[in-house]
Amino acid sequence: MTRLLSDICYVRSGDKGNICTAGLIARTPADYPALLASVSPEKVRALYGDWVQGDVHCYPMDNIQALVVVMHGALGGGATSTLRLDQTGKSLGHALLRLPVAGG
C-alpha cells in the first residue's frame, strides 16, 4: 500500500486574498526528509488541476520540520468573491495529504 502524506504529516491551511497557504508539518523529525522529497510546485499544481491557477511556492522550515506551500490563484477569486463554499481555504490545503510519499 502506497503511503500518503496523511500518514506522516499534519496540515493547517488558510487564505490571504486569492492565495491559499498550507503548512505541512512532519509528525516526527524522522518524517521531515520524506515530506520535503514528496512535495514540489509541479506535484501541487498537478494535484489541484484548474483549482489552482497561479504559481506555487514551497518554503521549508528546518527548525520546526515543516513545509509552507503557497498557492496563488487558488481560491476562485478569494474569500469575499469566490463561488466555492470553502471560502477561506481551511479545507483546501488538506488535499495535499493525498500526495504519495516519495519512495514510500
Q: Do residues 33 and 66 lie in contact, with contact meaning Cβ atoms separated by under 8 Å?
A: no
Q: Which secondary-structure segment (H or E) carries 22?
A: strand 19-26
Does 1 sit near other proteins (CB under 8 A)?
no
30 binds other proteins (CB under 8 A): no
Beta bridge pairs of residue 69? 22, 58
41 binds other proteins (CB under 8 A): no
- For 43, the grid coordinates are 506535484
Contacting positions for other proteins (CB under 8 A): 10-12, 14-19, 21, 23-25, 47-51, 57, 59, 61-64, 66, 68, 70, 72, 76-81, 83-86, 90-92, 94-95, 98
